[in-house]
Amino acid sequence: MKTVLVLNGPNLNLLGTREPAVYGAQTLADVEALCATACASHGLALDFRQSNHEGVMIDAIQEAGRAQAAGTLIGVVLNAGAYTHTSVALHDAIKGSGVTLIELHISNVHAREAFRHHSFISPVAKAVMAGFGVKGYALAISGLAGLAG
């Protein structure tokens, strides 16, 4: 069974505790459960992670690139949080790893502040999803499964 890595960045551990008008009321544990259901429906295993640390996220992306090259992983769904708008290092890691990656945002970043309109991830992502709330995670997993299969 091949794996999907769902990788969440800074502050996403706070989901469901604040800003429900923007991010909804579901917690990160709820998101993990919906990702597990989506993966199972496609015969895929889930590796679900969250980190507040850029370097830890870079290590995870490099690991995912090696796993995809070895044939054990189909790709990554990445919600890089605010690092989306700042991180050349994540851009370089994605590009260098060669991993198939879907950029995901819970909110529609283009309908928000101008500083959220630029992404360092989009140029190295296979596809971008934003504004579907946490259901976007399941949609992104389906999209990855479609690309792989």
**Binding track, positions 65-104, relative to ligand CA2; x by CB under 6 A:** --------------x-xx-x--------------------
Residue list 19-58, contact with ligand CA2 (CB under 6 A): 19, 23
Give the residue with the Cβ less far from ligand CA2, 11 or 45. 11
- Distance in angstroms between the alpha carbons of the first and the last residue of the chain: 13
Q: Kindly report the number of other CB atoms within 10 A of residue 50's CB atom.
A: 20
Distance CA 88, CA 3 (A): 26
| The two structure tokens encoding residue 26 | 């579901």
| Per-residue three-class SS string for 109-147 | HHHCCHHHCCCCCHHHCCEEEECCCCHHHHHHHHHHHHH
Q: Is position 109 an interface residue for ligand CA2 (rule: CB under 6 A)? A: yes
Catalytic residue, from 23, 83, 91, 137: name it: 23
Q: Does 137 qualify as catalytic in the annotation?
A: no
Residues paired with residue 46 on neighbouring β-strands, in sequence order: 4
Q: Is position 18 an interface residue for ligand CA2 (rule: CB under 6 A)? A: yes
Q: Does 105 qualify as catalytic in the annotation?
A: yes
User: Which residues are part of the catalytic machinery?
Assistant: 23, 105
Question: Which residue ranges make up the site for ligand CA2 (CB under 6 A)?
Answer: 11-12, 14-15, 17-19, 23, 79, 81-82, 84, 105-107, 109, 116
